[in-house]
Structure 1
Amino acid sequence: MDFHSFKDWFTVENIMHLMVQYRTLGPLPGIFLLILEAFLPFLPLFLIVMANANAFGLWIGFLISWIGASLGAILVFLVIRRFGKSKALAFLYKNRQVQKIMSWVERHGFGPIFLLICFPFTPSAVVNIVAGLSKIRIFQYVLAVLAGKMVMIFCVSYVGHDIFSLVEKPLRTAVVLTVIFLLWLAGKSIEKKLAKKHEKEQNQG
C-alpha cells in the first residue's frame, strides 16, 4: 500500500469497520488512531473523531477522542522537548520563524496555545512542536491542551455523532456545514490576530 492509498483509506466507514472488527479491544483502536494522528498529521482527525462518536455515542465517543487526541499532543510535545535540540532535529530549532514563535509562546503561555487548539482546522502538529521547543512549562502546556482539545473534540463529536442522518436531513446538514465554516473562519481570524500582535511586539522590540 503506497502513501496515497494509505491516506485515502481513512473514511468514516472504514474507521468504523476497523472499530467493529476490533471491538474486543473496546475504545483502544479509537484512542490509538488519534495518538497516531498527532505524529502523522496528514491523517484525518476530523473523521476519526466522528467515527468514535458514531461507534460509541456522543459522550463516550467524545471522551475516547479527547483522551486520544490529548495523549497524542502531549507525547509529541514531550518527544520534541526531549530530542528537539538534537542534531537530527536541529533544523527545527534553528529556523528563524520557529524561534520567533517560540519566544512569543514563552511570553504568553497558556492563552494562545489554548485558542489555537480549540479550532479543528488549526495545524496542531505545528503548535505541539513549537511548544516543545520553547521554554513553556509542561504544566501550562498540558492544561492548555486538555482544555483546548475538550472544546474542539466536543464540537467535532457533536457534529459527527449521527453523521448518517445528515444525508436524510438536509436542514441539519446545512446547519452542520455552517458550523464547520464558522469554526474555520473563527480559527483563521484568531490566527491572524495573534500573528499581527506578534509582529507588532517584534517591531516594538
Structure 2
Amino acid sequence: MREYLRPMLPMLAVLLIPIVPFLLFAWLYPGWEDQVAKWGQTNQSQWWTAIIIIGLLASDIFLLIPSSVLCTAAGWQFGLLLGTLIAWTGTSLGAVIGFAVAKRIGTPIVSWLTTPKELARAGELTRQFGPWLLVIARGIPVVAEASVLFVGLHQMPWRTFLPPVLFSNLVLAFLYAAFGRVAEQFQLLPLAIGVSIGAPVLMIAAFRLWLWMRNRES
C-alpha cells in the first residue's frame, strides 16, 4: 500500500496549501462573504463573475486551478441550476481544450503540461479501465488532467471521449453547485470553501486506496 500512498503526498501538500491562507483571511476579515455577495447582486457583476468562473475552469488543464472551489462558488452565487450550468460549461471546456490540444499537437504540448511519470500512470490506468477512467478520475486532481491528455495523445475518437467526460462533469458540477447553494442558504460559505478545497484530497486518498485494494485482490 505504501507505493500508492507515497506518490499522493506531494499532491496532498499542493492541494492543502490554499487552506491555511484562506482560513487566516476568513479569520482576519469577518463578514468578507457579505461584501462579495453585495458586489455580485448587480447584473453586470453577475455576468463578469460567470465569465471569470468559466474562464478559470476552462484553463484548469494548463494551470493549477481549484475547480472544486469555483464550482461551489458558482452554486453559491447563481443557485443550483444556473450554477451547475456554469460549472459544467467551464469544466467541459477545459477537458475539450486539453483533449483537442493533445490530439492536435501531441507529445510536445503534453510533455509541457504534465510529467512523464503522471503520463505513464495515466497510461497504466487507461489500459486497466479504458474510457471508464475518464469517468472515475474526473474529480481527482492531476489524474483527471493526465488522463485527458493521454487519451488525446493516443488519438481517442471524439465520440468515445465526449460522452463520459460531459456526463461526469455534469454530475460533479451539480454536486458542487448544490453544496454551494446549501452553503449560501445557511451562510456557511467559508466552511463550504474549506470543504471543497479538502474534497479533492479525500478523492485522491479514496482513489489510491481503491486501486491498492483492487490490485491486491487481482
TM, length-normalised to structure 1: 0.66
1:69 aligns with 2:91: yes
Tell me, which stretches of 5 or more residues in structure 2 are unaligned? 1-16, 27-31
Among 87, 95, 112, the residue aligned to 2:116 = 95
Tell me, which stretches of 5 or more residues in structure 1 are unaligned? none
- Report deviation, 1:133: 2.2
Among 111, 134, 138, the residue aligned to 1:113 = 134
Moved more, 77-86 or 186-195: 186-195
When residues 45 and 101 of structure 1 are mapped into structure 2, their CA distance, relative to the original with a 3 A threshold, is closer
1:30 aligns with 2:53: yes
| Moved >6 Å (runs of 4+) | 91-94, 179-183, 198-201
* Aligned counterparts of 1:122 and 1:92: Cα–Cα separation in 2: 14
- Report deviation, 1:147: 1.3
- Report deviation, 1:162: 3.7
- Report deviation, 1:35: 0.8
The 5 Å alignment of 1:130-145 reads 130-145=150-165
Secondary structure of the 1:161 match is helix
* Aligned counterparts of 1:105 and 1:152: Cα–Cα separation in 2: 21
1:81 aligns with 2:103: yes
Moved more, 28-37 or 64-73: 28-37
Contact map agreement 2:92 2:169 (CA 8 A) in 1? yes
Aligned to 2:207: 190
- Report deviation, 1:135: 3.8
The 5 Å alignment of 1:145-160 reads 145-160=165-180
Q: Which has the higher contact order (CA 8 A, sep 6+)?
A: 2
Aligned to 2:183: 163
* Aligned counterparts of 2:54 and 2:113: Cα–Cα separation in 1: 28
Contact map agreement 1:73 1:128 (CA 8 A) in 2? yes
Secondary structure of the 2:107 match is coil
* Aligned counterparts of 1:91 and 1:55: Cα–Cα separation in 2: 34
Contact map agreement 1:51 1:160 (CA 8 A) in 2? yes
Identity %: 21
1:126 aligns with 2:146: yes
Considering only aligned residues, what root-mean-square deviation do their CA atoms show, in Å?
Answer: 4.3
* Aligned counterparts of 1:92 and 1:180: Cα–Cα separation in 2: 22
* Aligned counterparts of 1:91 and 1:59: Cα–Cα separation in 2: 36
- Report deviation, 1:62: 0.6
When residues 126 and 19 of structure 1 are mapped into structure 2, their CA distance, relative to the original with a 3 A threshold, is farther
TM, length-normalised to structure 2: 0.63
